[in-house]
Amino acid sequence: MFNLFSFTDDRAELFKALAAAQADMGSAKKDSKNPHFRSKYASLSAVLEAIVPALNKHGLALLQLPHFDYELVQVTTVITHSSGQMLSSTAACFPGKKGDAQAVGSAITYLRRYAAQSILGLPVDDDDGNAASRHQPQRRPVSNIRPEADAWARKVKQALLDAGVTVEQYSVWARRRDRPQLFDLTPEQAKNALQWIQHGNGADVIRQTASNPVGP
């Protein structure tokens, strides 16, 4: 996955409007579920609902144009201002193992969601409004992990290696997607991760995320 950026030569009005729009934006709500990790994420609809009204209020518009480069699915995200100034960013990824219409559609949605969210620095909140009151669990060193969790983490590690994915690539993916590191997984999370890697598109997703040099 990669990103290419471009701007118009004159961008003062654009950046002024963007700053005002960001001040009016709320957070995208986690309204969808990831069955592999039993976690929530903000859907494309939730991201657009959080950003488009604020953009339009300040004379800005969001365009997202899908296209292809050989086997890569690409989406160019363009933010335009009523002054004629604009910026754009192109992101790309592989459509997954099947490469059929559904896989391409999923890749386009994935790219649109992350591109719109990242280009505007949009935060994401839990949909029940309780994110601020929750304490983030402390990461535990490997030596303190329960034997069951440690055993499952080793199975996930072996599945990664069998799929040609390094532990370092997994760590990059986990950090960018706000997921637990390999030896911080609970037994249940590790079981879901193992299923995702062995029987889903987990290996491809991890490789694509880790290979993106512009990721957080």
pLDDT of residue 182: 85
Average pLDDT, the chain: 82
Q: Roughly what angle, to the nearest 10 degrees, separates helices 202-210 and 167-176?
A: 80
- Tell me the residue range of the domain where 40 lies: 3-126
Do 23 and 105 lie in one domain? The reply is: yes
At residue 144 the predicted structure's pLDDT band, cuts being 50, 70 and 90, is very low
Q: Is residue 134 part of a domain?
A: no
Closest by CA position to 9, among listed 87, 82, 81: 87
Do 76 and 107 lie in one domain? The reply is: yes
Residue 129 has pLDDT above 70, yes or no: no
Do 118 and 144 lie in one domain? The reply is: no
Do 111 and 30 lie in one domain? The reply is: yes
Residue whose entry in the numeric block shows the structure tokens 């719109």: 116
| Number of structural domains found in the chain | 2
Domain end point (choices 126, 160, 193): 126
Q: Is residue 52 part of a domain?
A: yes
Could you tell me the pTM of the whole model?
0.55
Q: Is residue 147 part of a domain?
A: yes
Contacts of 52 (CB under 8 A, 6+ apart): 62
What tens digit of pLDDT does each residue of 157-210 get?
999 999 999 988 898 888 888 888 888 888 888 888 888 898 889 899 998 888
Domain end point (choices 126, 152, 185): 126
How far apart, in whole angstroms, are the C-alpha atoms of residue 119 and residue 128?
25
* Angstrom distances, CA of residue 60 to CA of 13, 33, 44, 46, 75: 10, 31, 19, 19, 19
Do 121 and 151 lie in one domain? The reply is: no
